[in-house]
Chain A
């Protein structure tokens, strides 16, 4: 689950990670008041959306007075911010974070994430702050510092020192960086972060160490024990159809094509998208109804697929294991009748109770194209939508 920058900073501050003073505001008037309250010569007004690259898109502006802060807020709040990560449709800005301006001396990068190769948490740091870390990794991999953390010990001072020295820090900044890294790791573990990026992490001219930006995602599997963080979920930042699907425990991801897919199992669902593409079609979505789907879930799946106006046909590919084909067939018949489905439906079923499933489809009187194998299904589907 993604959260906003100001929320991430709130959590980090709770764990003793220094962040600039800041106030969240919804309106230009509130921004003006916030700037006066902060009382610094310069404030920064930052759009709060769940996507990176906000600065390049015009979503981050400096202001030298509360009045100017109000003026820039007028432009930012309500704007549709387009960044490389939002896609061309952009994201509407509803909130901004007003922060004190900082006398920056050095911009660094620090990230914490899971390293799948070692199955350990890894700290990544670089002196090339403010840049995309992927670019740094591609151009100058030697500039990236990587340290793996043993879960038994966590980040001990020696490990934090190793990173701080590698970042070429000295004096007060060096001393302050050590608890900064240790606290950052604590926050990562205690709050079940999936990924944490501080870019830039700044050293000020008076040798303070602060997280100037914070990008965090929370492990969705751990939300049961992060009740407070769950209230940070911002549904406006998510695709409405994906939100709807998640209510029914359906795993749905919207894509750009015109063939709606309904599949059981994540791997088979991906493979189904692939085979549609190989057959000359374009998948409209990824949809995994899971192993324990019932008739109601199938119906909800149908409703979600059909609410995408681009969908011109539906390909159902089920390998029945726990999910029985007769249940699936009943769900398909029920949904097709209830929702008065007008687009062609191709069904490929195999596995448990397959014969019974086919009989239910045959007897139903609804117009279903039955396929023998997933290749046949994909080809029939592509033909039907052309």
Chain B
């Protein structure tokens, strides 16, 4: 089993006629994801990648294709508008890959999403993959393997690192969720933990965090109370200087808050197996399984 995405997912791609959008739509199709349509305003009526119809609006696309998920590759100034359009059209799962959306745009989007029926993943994330079933995002497909470890992470390549280690040890993944590196993201650790706890196909959870904010601390307290499956954690940025944004907009220690040390301490206290070195993720997960 898996969470959020599987064989039944019907995907549209917003920004499908752009270079990135088209490239990754094709990669997802090759993996077996059902890419049923695309949206680019004023380019409706075209066909891309041989058979994928392009629509002017998300509403049109949903009506014609029965899509239940969207992947957004719209440039940062217009991406929040694309998210709102998808939510307004009732798309159940919105995955926004775009990095660099202004914070004030996301404050509005967050507020709107709370009143809608949609779930937003990201922005500034690699996407989601349920190995062997469905890939929505930019992750390299070939490193993944079907299995029973669930992964949640704020980072892209660091998630690939964990996946790579697991696959090398012969351990597969149920679903890998990149929740995104921005200060405001649609789906947090807790939402994803809840889904993994319920999912019968997930036997262990790997939680990869980084400096900035207190989302990992909140997740740790949630795990202590609600999660019975083993959780293995890592926090990136143990050597990061305070007050500097380490690449991700959300990765900043401000006012002494959000240090790796503090997060690791809280996570350990809540029963999470925290590894100090990112190279130890795979073998530590192997041990608990």
Q: Which residues of A contact B (CB under 8 A)?
A: 114, 116-117, 119-121, 133-134, 137, 150-152, 189, 192, 194, 219, 221-222, 224-225, 251, 253, 255, 263-271, 273-278, 283, 286, 288, 291, 319-322, 350-352, 373-375
Residues 83-108 of B contacting A (Cβ, < 8 Å): 100-108
When chains A and B are docked, how far (Å) is the Cα of A263 from the Cα of B111? 35
B247–A271 touching, CB < 8 Å: no
Nearest-neighbour CB distance to chain B for A218, whole angstroms, equals 10
Residue pairs across A and B with Cβ atoms less than 8 A apart, 27 shown, are A114-B107, A116-B212, A121-B107, A150-B111, A192-B104, A253-B241, A265-B155, A266-B155, A267-B155, A267-B157, A267-B158, A267-B159, A267-B181, A267-B210, A267-B248, A268-B155, A270-B236, A274-B237, A274-B238, A274-B276, A276-B239, A291-B156, A291-B157, A319-B164, A321-B138, A351-B143, A374-B279
Say whether B69 faces chain A, with CB atoms less than 8 Å apart: no
B246–A269 touching, CB < 8 Å: yes
Residues 186-227 of B contacting A (Cβ, < 8 Å): 208, 210-215, 218
B214–A319 touching, CB < 8 Å: no
A255–B103 touching, CB < 8 Å: no
Of B76, B143, B211, B234, chain A has the most CB atoms within 10 Å of the CB of B143
B102–A221 touching, CB < 8 Å: yes
Of B102, B138, B139, B260, chain A has the most CB atoms within 10 Å of the CB of B102
B164–A134 touching, CB < 8 Å: no
When chains A and B are docked, how far (Å) is the Cα of A248 from the Cα of B119? 35
Say whether B132 faces chain A, with CB atoms less than 8 Å apart: no
Of A189, A268, A276, A291, chain B has the most CB atoms within 10 Å of the CB of A268
Pick from B102, B143, B251, B278: contact of A266, CB below 8 A.
B251
Q: Report B65-79 CB contacts with A as 1/0, cut-off 8 Å.
A: 000000000001100
B140–A278 touching, CB < 8 Å: no
When chains A and B are docked, how far (Å) is the Cα of A249 from the Cα of B278? 26
Residues of A within 8 A of B158 (CB): 265, 267-268, 270-271
When chains A and B are docked, how far (Å) is the Cα of A114 from the Cα of B140? 33
A221–B156 touching, CB < 8 Å: no
> With A221-B100, A271-B278, A321-B139 in contact, do A266 and B247 touch (Cβ < 8 Å)?
yes
Residues of A within 8 A of B156 (CB): 265, 267-268, 291, 321
Q: Report B241-254 CB contacts with A as 1/0, cut-off 8 Å.
A: 10010111111000
When chains A and B are docked, how far (Å) is the Cα of A270 from the Cα of B253? 13
Residues of A within 8 A of B31 (CB): none
Pick from B208, B210, B236, B279: contact of A375, CB below 8 A.
B279
Residues of B within 8 A of A251 (CB): 247
When chains A and B are docked, how far (Å) is the Cα of A263 from the Cα of B156? 12
When chains A and B are docked, how far (Å) is the Cα of A219 from the Cα of B80? 15
Pick from B108, B161, B241: contact of A151, CB below 8 A.
B108
With both beta carbons as reference points, the residue of chain B lying nearest to A375 in the complex is identified as B279
> With A268-B161, A271-B158, A278-B276 in contact, do A119 and B218 touch (Cβ < 8 Å)?
no
Nearest-neighbour CB distance to chain A for B124, whole angstroms, equals 9
Residues of B within 8 A of A150 (CB): 111
